[in-house]
Structure 1
Amino acid sequence: MAKAKQSYIDIVEEFPSEFHKPLLRLVDAIMERVRMEFAVRREDFDELRSAISELTQAQKRTEDRVEELADAQAKTEMRVEELAQVQKRFEKHFDLQIGALGSRWGLKTEESFRAAAEGILGEDFGLHVERYQAYDEEGEVFGRPDQVEIDIMIRDDKITAIEIKSSMSKYDVYAYDKKVSFFERRNQVKVDRKLIITPMLDPRAEELVKTLGMKVYSSCYDWGDEEQELK
């Protein structure tokens, strides 16, 4: 700064002597103004340091809060996983219970439907349907030794096999055809007609029914009316 001031004095001395003092005062005023403009006041520095301190503390609180949230999220995820495992165990147990209940209900429904259908055929149409039962030691029907049951009606020396079920799948149709063949071999007879009475036939079994020469009735009344017309 002293060197710069000396340079200004050298320049001022080039002017006439009566201008020296005014010019020096002007130069000093300009330099003081510049110093004040660019100097950092102590108050400003203290305010800046205080603001930085507050920002540092705020950042620390934010980091602590983020860490707390991360811990809470980890605990929540663990809890969700525990609940998912509990739900899986419950669903498995529930499915087993429903499956067992459904099996028992299905058997009861099948028996009720068969009893009702046979009752209608006998009481409303005077058609006697006998229940043929025999044990299949060789497993011809089901691939293993098992009891074979099939409804048979004999009229005018014509043998009609009847399968009465509340629902009929493609597998049921195959099994029914094997039961008819088993009955024919065991009794050395020929079944003239193979009928199915069911309100629900699996659409995938329709073509198989035609191929095996069977006829399906959605109600025992449909078949009973037809039989009455043939008398």
Structure 2
Amino acid sequence: MNRRFEEVDKRFEALISEMNRRFEEVDKRFEEMDKRFEAILEQIREIRVELAGLGGRLGRGFEDLVRQTLKAVVGAEVKEVKRLIMWDEKGEVYGHPENVEFDAYASNNEKFLIEVKSSANKGDVLIFNKKAEWAEKTLGKTRKILIAAYVEDAAYRECIQLGITVISRNIVPQEKEEDTLRL
């Protein structure tokens, strides 16, 4: 009987020894993963610093671009171009209280609200116009300008109706009706 207990004890000791060895391996793996994770976090911090610097340079470049565009296309000289954020406490624009943001705001004798898009569709135009009309309650009369690389034809026509100045390289023709699936 004692011999059996001794054999069972040996097996348990062997199992415990094996489990301890495996736990040590897992601990080593976790330590290695922690080191890799810390290295990745450090890289993310470095990227954030670089992006912040780049964002500042791009912001100044954007400001200059808008300033030059206003002068060339609209004939208006402005000293300062800033991003504009206004608080809509009553939720008139989005249906609930929210910040209303404009890509650029500039003023001299005139006030300019500027929306910048890579491409603009009719929905973009309607939202920009709604935001601008709301902002005019505080700012007074503004000149609305849409700057976009591409503007859909329907969006361009909507801009004309709403009195929004469009600065764009391309007005994209509307799709043919036969290419459209309506449900």
Give me the TM-score of the superposition, normalised by structure 1: 0.42
What's the counterpart of residue 97 of structure 1? Answer: 50
1:129 aligns with 2:76: yes
CA separation of 1:207 and 1:62: change in aligned 2, threshold 3 A: same
User: 1 CA distance for matches of 2:131 and 2:33?
Assistant: 43
**Structure 1: tracts of 5 or more residues without a match:** 1-47, 122-127, 132-148, 151-163, 181-190, 226-231
- Higher-Rg structure is 1
**Structure 2: tracts of 5 or more residues without a match:** 88-100, 117-127, 148-159, 167-183
| Among candidates 172, 176, 196, match of residue 112 of structure 2 | 196
Stretch of structure 1 that moved more, 76-85 or 49-58:
49-58
Stretch of structure 1 that moved more, 204-213 or 54-63:
204-213
Conserved 8 A contact 2:114-2:145: yes
The number of residues matched between the two structures is 125
CA separation of 1:106 and 1:74: change in aligned 2, threshold 3 A: same
| Among candidates 187, 192, 214, match of residue 141 of structure 2 | 214
Conserved 8 A contact 1:170-1:204: no
Residue identity over aligned pairs, in percent, reads: 14
Residue 214 of structure 1 aligns to a residue whose secondary structure is coil
Runs of 4+ in 1 over 4 A off after TM superposition: 48-51, 203-208, 220-225
RMSD after superposition = 3.7
Give me the TM-score of the superposition, normalised by structure 2: 0.51
Structure having the larger proportion of residues in strand: 2
| Among candidates 6, 9, 14, match of residue 56 of structure 1 | 9
Q: For residues 47-92 of structure 1, what are the alpha-carbon distances to aligned partners after superposition, in whole Å with 9 as ceiling and x for unaligned?
A: x555444322211111101111222232223223222322221111
